Amino acid sequence: MKTRQYHRQKTPRRKKISKLTYKEYSQMCRFKFDLTDYPKEFELSLIKENGWYSKENPKGASRDHMLSISYGWKRNISPKIIKHPANCQLMLYETNADKGWRSSLNLGKLLERIKEWNRKYK
């Protein structure tokens, strides 16, 4: 009688979502628009009162990605969506650092915001 040999199947490797490294992706997601082009959309007084964040000004304001870069990279979301002005909010750097990699809105809500933004400004 022949005995069957069973071979352990290898666990499939997780499919790499993005060919970009996180560092490359995050550089592509940087905001490149001028806030003053959209004065009604951003709380510019935050900058006037606190200045921009820097090593010399740790209490300053910074731009925040509401849908985080980390979330976008893990899910292969186009950098164009992540860097869209509708995904930006101003906040104090301290608050932004506390927020960390967490998102303050979901992808569906961001896509709605982008659609509305593009309707308003294009």
Q: Using CA atoms, how far apart are residues 27 and 15, in angstroms rounded to an integer? A: 23
Residues 52-107: pLDDT tens digits? 999 999 999 999 999 999 999 999 999 999 999 999 999 999 999 999 889 999 99
pTM equals 0.81
